[in-house]
Amino acid sequence: MKRLQVIRSVFVVAVLSVCGFAVQGAGAPAQPKNAAGGAKTTAPLRTFTGVITDGQCATKGSHQEVMKRASVNTEANCVKGCARRYGYVLFDPASKKIYKLNEDRRPSELANQKVVVRGALDKATQTIYVSSIAPAK
């Protein structure tokens, strides 16, 4: 009986220790990593021009298939719906390049519009860390 109490006490202490370590690391937000594993990309700010779209339709090259399948009425709504799952990207029609965007709020306001994005490019992940987004003139 005494042995069972000792085992139970050791188990409770072990569980509380694990929970303590889990809570201790939970408060720190994850920082974007660059290719070398550093905190955030330190690449210089550049200017990119393209169309705000989503990761799925950008790789397909069109919204038509998804719009038919999902009964979506506009390309902008297609972008907003698909971006929930596939994220926002900047598609550069001149170079046919697709860049992931680390921002979600501002791209949704400019879905399916030609824009100018200023930000730092992480070449390893092809992600632009957005500084500003504005409609192209």
Q: What is the pLDDT along the chain (137 residues), one digit of tens a residue?
A: 666 565 666 555 454 454 444 434 433 333 344 443 333 557 899 999 999 999 999 988 888 888 888 888 999 999 999 999 999 999 999 999 999 999 888 888 999 999 999 999 999 999 999 999 999 98
DSSP state of 48: E
Helix runs in the chain, H state only: 2-26, 55-60, 64-70, 75-86, 105-109
- For position 32, what pLDDT does the model report? 44
- For position 64, what pLDDT does the model report? 86
pTM attached to this predicted model: 0.67
Q: What are phi and psi of 104, to 5 degrees?
A: -115, -35
Angle subtended at Cα 102 by Cα 24 and Cα 86, rounded to the nearest 5 degrees: 100
- For position 70, what pLDDT does the model report? 86
- For position 1, what pLDDT does the model report? 63
